[in-house]
Structure 1
Amino acid sequence: MKRLYTALMAVALVASSCQKDTGGSPDTPDVPGAIPADFSWKTTRDVNVSVAAPTVNGAAPAYAVINVYSSPILSAENLVTGGATKSATPFRSAFTLPAGVETLYVVTTLPDGTKSVKTAEVRSSVDVAGASVTTAAMPKVRAAAITRSASSMPAFPTMTAPDASSFDPQAVIATTPSKNFNLGAQESQYAAAAYYIPAGAVIEGNINLNGNYAPNKQPVLYVAGKLVLSSPNIGYATLAVLPGGEVTVSGKLTAQNVAKDLPALYVFPGGKLTAAEVNFSGKVAVNLGTVNVSGKLDLNNDLKFYNGAGAVLTSATFKYSNTGGLFNDGAISADELEFNSTAAFENCENGDLKVEEMIMANTTTKFYQKGVAEIGEMTCRGEFYVNCYTYVDDLGLEGAKLYIAADACLETGEADFNNAKVEMAAGSLFIAQQYNKNKGGNNTFTAAAGTVIPVVRFEQSAFYSEGNQYWSAARTTFSGPMEVVDPQAEAENKFYVAKCFSNGAFLTAEQLTNIPKSECNGGKGQITPDPEPEPDAYTNVPGQVYTYCFEDNWPWLGDYDMNDVVIESRIDRMVSKDGSKVSALTINWELRAAGTTYDIAGAVQMDKVQASDVANVESSHKGFGSGMFASQGLESDSQYAVIPFFNNTKELLSTSNTWKGHPASATQKHTTTVIFSQPVDIAAVLDSEMNFFITPKQRTNEIHMPGYAVTASGLIGKGSFQPSEPYKFYVTDGDQVKNNYMMWALVIPGEFRYPAENNDIRGVYEHFMTWASSNGTQHPEWYQESADADKIY
């Protein structure tokens, strides 16, 4: 007989027509819509999972611990089964899941503590590939920029330092000219293509760098000594600072955007330029020595500025705009660095960047970070590419795009994102001490598949969703294979936090994924896990929480408020290493409401466990009184194990806990532990095999979940159902046709906000009837959706 165990569906099994309780009347609320006669949808499912044994360097370890989670939040309340593989033996287990669960998350822990996570689509039978781990030597951490043979620094114009003896003596400027000296001019006493200030010479003023004179319109001034100018303008000339040479500009140094063959400025290694202010519009500038600007450094138009390996460039305010490009393979430091228009900045592999404040002013700006960068405050509205370790103390992304390359790390003290898109490659790492305290929204993190999944780590606090337990909005979503670490994530947030994770993304309290330390992640992703102890023969695996709600007034609906008996339950199981056997289980239960005037007992029958298989039953509820069950132990004269919880709701609650505004009774959590004489198959004690029921007024009256038969003590009475259709109920007495196939009990995943007294559930939850009349295809989570809060207890 095929079981139709379904969460949120029920049938009444009673011996005779019960009297109505005081909470309702034969005239039910006028709520239209009958549940169809072929009401046979499912909202839970039984799953069998097989996890292949892992390998380390191609060999199977002695054992590995397997934990399977039903949620992207890898926490204890979402653990559905667990155990261990032995050598090359696969791990196999069975469990019951709510139908809304689409993905399983399988965590494999090796004996050395190394963990890996795999995802699998939920099916009736799930096969998961085993984890495969390869050990390798870890590269050293790069603490600062180092010179590499390979760099993405593009080719730039180069100049060769001339031999001092090669200059015409008339082209050597050894003393300050008495009047303005125009380089290359015919009227000048030195009409040459190249000029030279020798070492030891100090020239103060009267040098004109325009250079647009016949016959030499692109002259070069080589400085090996010292040159002091007030506010020169570089036109067609080239200012070349040789090793040991120094150029000082007391005012503003400018360069025009003119067509010429050589750079406007070329600083050789060992050369030095100091200026109060710089405004360059020239085509090209090259620094291989030192450039120090005490004020504003303004690079604009289509200028390309190359700061080569070993070079140092400093400024107070650094602004780069328009269509140019800034390339750094040396060191750049600035109090403020701003990019706008279509400016692009490439901090190459040897680059070392230190900036107090960095602004990427619009969406067309680009920053390629391949070296080492330390930034105090950064506002980005463009595209930010992280290829190597980058630290930003305060990072703001406004409509920006962030790309973190494989094995790279971006670390922030505080990150505030709004309409930002983050793409993470394999093995990449994003760390934020605080994330989105300003509660920006519409942010996405996406990940690409790879050998090592990327990790997003929130160290202190994070905001990525808002709303209460049932109505919420995801302000940041995580999609693709990635681990999100948030030690502050609260268990009560599980319903809406889960909306943020999809396609293999999952949430943990501690980092599971080990990212080997490298030059470009600063060792920030490396973890040293504690060795996993040899698993015990049987391990406790917490179960899923379900709420069971009963109406006691069949065949009349009465008030149909589904609160006559409300029991919340979670079954924990002692599971064997391989996940196939259960030696004991603990039913954690709590009577939350009893909106009834009847004497009602509550119990469970294990439909696949013989009474003879139970060695002992122990309950924490010591106030079990006389009534329908003789004791809290196994009921006698029953083939299957029937275990009572209470003989009367009044043992636990002195008030109903259903009337709004009335004093309520405190509820108490209880445990009923069942020890088996011999371990039973895990398939025999799934949630779907737990036949919860209540008995109103007398022992022979039983109300069960749909698809579940009465116990040996229950009777099938008048008008209940035909033996040929044991799992359907049709109202024949006392109610209108609109109530045909209505339910007298519900089992709901998680905690349930049940209706207050005298509130028909069909008028409390907006989508209840839509869900029911669609055979469960529409609004399957109606109990988490729109409801009349005034009618909920």
Structure 2
Amino acid sequence: MKSIIKVLAVFFVVTFSACTKDVYDAGQNPDPNPGQNGSLPGDFTWSLSDETELTVNIEGLGEEKYIVEAYIGNPAIDPTARLIAGSQQKVNNSIPYVRNISIPTGLETIYIRVTDSRKRVSVYGFDVTKGHMVCNIGTGGAQTKSYAMSTRAAEAEMPQIDYSYEGKTLVELTGSSDITLQPGTVYIIPKDQTFNGQVSINGGGDILVYVEGTWQVVNSFKYEKKSVIYVLDGGKVETSGNTTLTFVESSMLAVQKGGQFGDANARISLSFNTSNNVVNEGLLYAENLSVTDKCSIYNSGDLVVTNLSTATQNNYIVNKSKIKAESIDLLNGVIDNYCHLVANQITTRGQVAHINLFPSSYVEAGKLSADHLDLFMDAKSMWKGESASFAGWDNKVRGGDTDWALLKINTIEVKTGAGKLLNYSGMVNIECKSHTEHPSQWNPCYGLIAPANFSEGQGFAEIDPNECNGNGGNHNPGEEPGPDDDITETNTLPYTYLFEDNWPQKGDYDMNDIVMSVTLRNTTSASDGKVKALDVDIKLYAVGARKKLAVAFQLDGVPAGAVSGSESNQQYAVIRLFDDAHAELGGASGEIINTYKYDNNLVKEIHKQIKFNTPLDQPISVGRFNLFAIWGDADANKRYEVHIPGFRGTNKAMSSELSTDVYTSTEDGWMWGLCIPFIDFSSFPKESVNISEAYSGFDKWISGDNTPNWYLNPIEGKTIVVK
């Protein structure tokens, strides 16, 4: 490999001269054997796109018709997403969508956009595979079955509390006298009685207090060593000031149905550590509620708290009814939500925090700040919020595998620059007005694994109103189906073509003798899905050659007779775009234009529409769009055509092996043309600057390293950057 690189360096630096020196008269016959100048790796191709057969199966969604499109970028959230294969309307449960597509080499994900007959739109993500991609849309579309809850069943069950004090020796607490609670003693505040004395603990545990009447807590104290406060049906604990109750060493607070701890103006704080439990079956209010070290909160009543926090992985919050909080700070720990949880702010951090939404449950969070969050959403559960931000690493939003859940958040921000920080998977439908886009398609910040999907507009997940979601739910009937219309696709991914005009001799390889971009747009019939027309939009950016150059394209595999106006004496349809590139840009014959200094006002836009006399079964993609330059006499029976490697010459090309095979030198593998996917690409080499010197990574690419997106790294001062 080192010897190859050395040879190539000599090849580029010494052999080549400026474009002004490799000019030929139109009739000159150049040497068809350029000579041995080193060779590329044996398996190297100049292709920057991979040809793939795409099959999309609609599974479990009935027999209605769907429109299927394939994109680079997520069209639900990214306005720069580009179509690579598009609409064929006769697709349903029985008829798959099959297209041949071109995917930029090195791209990890493509997005499949599905529109149903009621114009409800959803977008799915799939990992790119070469050769043949199969994408399953619907209930069977999962690429993974990793949907287990992030908790054990035992922790999700409400503890069975015995609130009875029968058979126990009781000490009554009444009045305003101060008291020191003694270890091993059972106390009761009788019904219709009030106790508001100061409390202290005599350094021991096993203290039980039953509240049937009213306990007005007037001071802070620590409750320890298997001590319990039971708030019984009809009992109430309240406070008139800021107080803190601390529970340690297997102690517990239990509120029976009909009992009440605190009130709407509560300024009481509760702190639990070392194997303590909070069990609320009634009504519990608190200013602050914090748990650490094997402590759990179980709620089957109404829990209203200003600040709720956990501190370890073995903290569990199990909600069987309703929790309302101003803020929830989940430092590790698990929330199992079976019903209704509302918070203005939820923050997750630490090694990993888990939030599990059980079937038909509901969470409403004004703002979610997630760092290391694993959010699981089972069938027909719903998360509603204003905003969410994801940072740290390994954030997950996972749906189940039996029915759809709905994640409905207006704005989702994902920290960029550190790879995929967030992954969506499972049967979760995402409705989002604004979502962080990938910094580039080569550097994704989130992953979308089918069947997880984004909706455009309202989510499609059908969720019935119930007590847990506040009788809200989600229902999206879409629009009434209308007549099937012909489908005109949006613009496909543009490709930029760079040509060296000296074929079959070497040039200076600044690859700017012709610089142009091409966008293809197919129109398909609603009745049979066949292609009726092709629109070709072209931007001619620069001409860095002295010789006269024409440009044409051949539609490989399309018979010449299928297209009116194609060149005569050709097997396949050949359409001439222009005969003189200099004239197209308004320049004089032989004038170098836009390769020394760029002027956007000189760029020429060209549009061609082709209507097929015989409609095509498959749309025209870049893999069948054989664009080429012609130097010399474009009308000659045999002419000098310059093609992209991998494409063959037309019937009018020179009859040498070089012109009819793959348009690379058979001796050293070098090319005269490149076709670059125009995702973020917007540059080309300056006049007389070899392409290997114009882009960082080009030399590694041609030596066999995996750097397919080298063209996104132009070197300042050596390239023209198109604004």
User: TM-score range, shorter-chain basis?
Assistant: 0.7 to 0.9
Q: Using the alignment, how far apart are the partners of 1:276 and 1:241 within structure 2?
A: 15
The answer for the alignment partner of 1:703 in structure 2 is 642
Report the residue type matching 2:692 in the other structure.
Answer: R
Q: 1:301 aligns with which of 248, 269, 272?
A: 248
The 3-state SS of whatever aligns with 1:402 is strand
Q: Using the alignment, how far apart are the partners of 1:130 and 1:479 within structure 2?
A: 15
The answer for the alignment partner of 1:694 in structure 2 is 629
Distance 1:358 1:22, change over 3 A: farther
The answer for the alignment partner of 1:638 in structure 2 is 570
The 3-state SS of whatever aligns with 2:711 is helix
Q: Using the alignment, how far apart are the partners of 1:674 and 1:491 within structure 2?
A: 35
Q: Using the alignment, how far apart are the partners of 2:512 and 2:425 within structure 1?
A: 41
The answer for the alignment partner of 1:541 in structure 2 is 489
Q: Using the alignment, how far apart are the partners of 1:483 and 1:114 within structure 2?
A: 12
Following superposition, the deviation at residue 765 of structure 1 comes to: 3.0
Q: Using the alignment, how far apart are the partners of 2:336 and 2:93 within structure 1?
A: 41
Distance 1:447 1:773, change over 3 A: same
1:381-392 to 2 correspondence within 5 Å? 381-387=331-337, 388-392=339-343
Q: Using the alignment, how far apart are the partners of 1:713 and 1:539 within structure 2?
A: 35
Following superposition, the deviation at residue 641 of structure 1 comes to: 1.9
Q: Using the alignment, how far apart are the partners of 2:165 and 2:632 within structure 1?
A: 105
Q: 1:464 aligns with which of 399, 403, 414?
A: 414
The answer for the alignment partner of 2:280 in structure 1 is 328
Report the residue type matching 2:585 in the other structure.
Answer: L
Distance 1:665 1:86, change over 3 A: closer
The superposition leaves residues 380-423 of structure 1 with CA deviations (integer Å, 9 ceiling, x where unpaired) of 21213141332221222222413222333433222223344444
In the alignment, does 2:420 pair up with 1:478?
Answer: no
The answer for the alignment partner of 2:594 in structure 1 is 657
Answer yes or no: is the 8 Å Cα contact 1:759–1:791 preserved in 2. Answer: yes
The 3-state SS of whatever aligns with 2:335 is strand
Following superposition, the deviation at residue 722 of structure 1 comes to: 8.0
Following superposition, the deviation at residue 363 of structure 1 comes to: 5.2
Distance 1:130 1:96, change over 3 A: closer
In the alignment, does 2:539 pair up with 1:590?
Answer: yes
The superposition leaves residues 256-308 of structure 1 with CA deviations (integer Å, 9 ceiling, x where unpaired) of 67454xx621123xx32111234242422211332113322322212111122
In the alignment, does 2:332 pair up with 1:402?
Answer: no
Distance 1:373 1:596, change over 3 A: farther
The answer for the alignment partner of 2:559 in structure 1 is 610
Report the residue type matching 2:40 in the other structure.
Answer: I
Following superposition, the deviation at residue 507 of structure 1 comes to: 4.5
Report the residue type matching 1:652 in the other structure.
Answer: L
Q: 2:321 aligns with which of 367, 371, 383?
A: 371
Answer yes or no: is the 8 Å Cα contact 1:594–1:649 preserved in 2. Answer: yes
Following superposition, the deviation at residue 565 of structure 1 comes to: 2.0
Answer yes or no: is the 8 Å Cα contact 1:567–1:590 preserved in 2. Answer: yes
The 3-state SS of whatever aligns with 1:715 is coil
Q: Using the alignment, how far apart are the partners of 2:188 and 2:38 within structure 1?
A: 89
Q: Using the alignment, how far apart are the partners of 1:392 and 1:304 within structure 2?
A: 25
Answer yes or no: is the 8 Å Cα contact 2:420–2:447 preserved in 1. Answer: no
The superposition leaves residues 134-164 of structure 1 with CA deviations (integer Å, 9 ceiling, x where unpaired) of xxxxxxxxxxxxxxxxx933122322579xx
The superposition leaves residues 332-384 of structure 1 with CA deviations (integer Å, 9 ceiling, x where unpaired) of 22233333x31523242x33222223333455544334432222233321213
In the alignment, structure 2 segments of 5+ residues that lack a partner are 1-15, 25-36, 141-155
Following superposition, the deviation at residue 678 of structure 1 comes to: 2.8
The 3-state SS of whatever aligns with 1:692 is strand
The 3-state SS of whatever aligns with 2:402 is coil
Report the residue type matching 2:535 in the other structure.
Answer: T
Answer yes or no: is the 8 Å Cα contact 1:465–1:496 preserved in 2. Answer: no
Distance 1:111 1:665, change over 3 A: closer
Following superposition, the deviation at residue 525 of structure 1 comes to: 5.9
The answer for the alignment partner of 2:29 in structure 1 is none
Q: Using the alignment, how far apart are the partners of 1:578 and 1:124 within structure 2?
A: 29
Distance 1:499 1:86, change over 3 A: closer
Following superposition, the deviation at residue 643 of structure 1 comes to: 2.0
Q: 2:689 aligns with which of 754, 759, 765?
A: 759
> Higher RCO, 1 or 2 (CA under 8 Å, sep at least 6)?
1
Following superposition, the deviation at residue 73 of structure 1 comes to: 1.4
The answer for the alignment partner of 1:747 in structure 2 is 675
The 3-state SS of whatever aligns with 1:153 is coil
Answer yes or no: is the 8 Å Cα contact 2:498–2:512 preserved in 1. Answer: yes
Answer yes or no: is the 8 Å Cα contact 2:533–2:610 preserved in 1. Answer: yes
The answer for the alignment partner of 1:618 in structure 2 is none
Following superposition, the deviation at residue 581 of structure 1 comes to: 1.3
Q: Using the alignment, how far apart are the partners of 2:529 and 2:260 within structure 1?
A: 66
The answer for the alignment partner of 2:176 in structure 1 is 228
Q: Using the alignment, how far apart are the partners of 1:548 and 1:429 within structure 2?
A: 48
Following superposition, the deviation at residue 582 of structure 1 comes to: 0.4
The answer for the alignment partner of 1:244 in structure 2 is 192
Q: Using the alignment, how far apart are the partners of 1:119 and 1:514 within structure 2?
A: 18
The answer for the alignment partner of 1:418 in structure 2 is 371
Q: Using the alignment, how far apart are the partners of 1:561 and 1:306 within structure 2?
A: 79
Q: Using the alignment, how far apart are the partners of 2:288 and 2:195 within structure 1?
A: 24
Q: 2:261 aligns with which of 284, 308, 313?
A: 313
The 3-state SS of whatever aligns with 1:334 is strand
Following superposition, the deviation at residue 704 of structure 1 comes to: 0.9
User: Percent identity between the aligned chains?
Assistant: 20
Following superposition, the deviation at residue 727 of structure 1 comes to: 1.9
1:119-268 to 2 correspondence within 5 Å? 122=129, 124-125=131-132, 131=138, 152-160=157-165, 219-222=169-172, 227-230=175-178, 232-249=180-197, 251=198, 253-255=199-201, 258=204, 260=206, 264-268=208-212
The 3-state SS of whatever aligns with 1:769 is helix
Q: Using the alignment, how far apart are the partners of 1:549 and 1:756 within structure 2?
A: 10
Q: Using the alignment, how far apart are the partners of 1:281 and 1:490 within structure 2?
A: 48
Report the residue type matching 2:676 in the other structure.
Answer: I
Report the residue type matching 2:358 in the other structure.
Answer: A
RMSD, aligned CA: 3.7
1:7-46 to 2 correspondence within 5 Å? 21-22=19-20, 34-36=39-41, 38-40=43-45, 44-46=49-51
The 3-state SS of whatever aligns with 1:771 is helix
Following superposition, the deviation at residue 115 of structure 1 comes to: 6.3
TM-score, normalised with respect to structure 2: 0.78
Q: Which of 1 and 2 has greater Rg?
A: 1
The answer for the alignment partner of 1:345 in structure 2 is 296
1:652-691 to 2 correspondence within 5 Å? 652=585, 656-659=593-596, 663-665=599-601, 667=603, 669-682=605-618, 685-691=620-626
Answer yes or no: is the 8 Å Cα contact 1:51–1:127 preserved in 2. Answer: yes
In the alignment, structure 1 segments of 5+ residues that lack a partner are 1-17, 27-31, 134-150, 163-192, 194-218, 467-471, 616-632, 733-739
The answer for the alignment partner of 1:714 in structure 2 is 653
1:37-76 to 2 correspondence within 5 Å? 38-40=43-45, 44-51=49-56, 60-61=62-63, 63-71=64-72, 73-75=74-76
Answer yes or no: is the 8 Å Cα contact 1:64–1:108 preserved in 2. Answer: no
Report the residue type matching 1:658 in the other structure.
Answer: T
Q: 1:355 aligns with which of 305, 313, 333?
A: 305
Report the residue type matching 1:311 in the other structure.
Answer: G
Answer yes or no: is the 8 Å Cα contact 1:50–1:91 preserved in 2. Answer: yes
Q: Using the alignment, how far apart are the partners of 1:244 and 1:113 within structure 2?
A: 63
Report the residue type matching 2:326 in the other structure.
Answer: G
Q: Using the alignment, how far apart are the partners of 1:416 and 1:66 within structure 2?
A: 36
1:72-151 to 2 correspondence within 5 Å? 73-75=74-76, 77-78=82-83, 80-85=85-90, 89-98=94-103, 99-100=105-106, 105-106=111-112, 108-112=114-118, 122=129, 124-125=131-132, 131=138
Aligned residues: 644
Q: Using the alignment, how far apart are the partners of 2:17 and 2:632 within structure 1?
A: 10
In the alignment, does 2:665 pair up with 1:730?
Answer: yes
Q: Using the alignment, how far apart are the partners of 1:477 and 1:242 within structure 2?
A: 54
Report the residue type matching 2:278 in the other structure.
Answer: L
Distance 1:397 1:118, change over 3 A: closer
Answer yes or no: is the 8 Å Cα contact 1:70–1:103 preserved in 2. Answer: no
The 3-state SS of whatever aligns with 2:676 is strand
The superposition leaves residues 35-72 of structure 1 with CA deviations (integer Å, 9 ceiling, x where unpaired) of 2355348654444455556556xxx44x3213233456
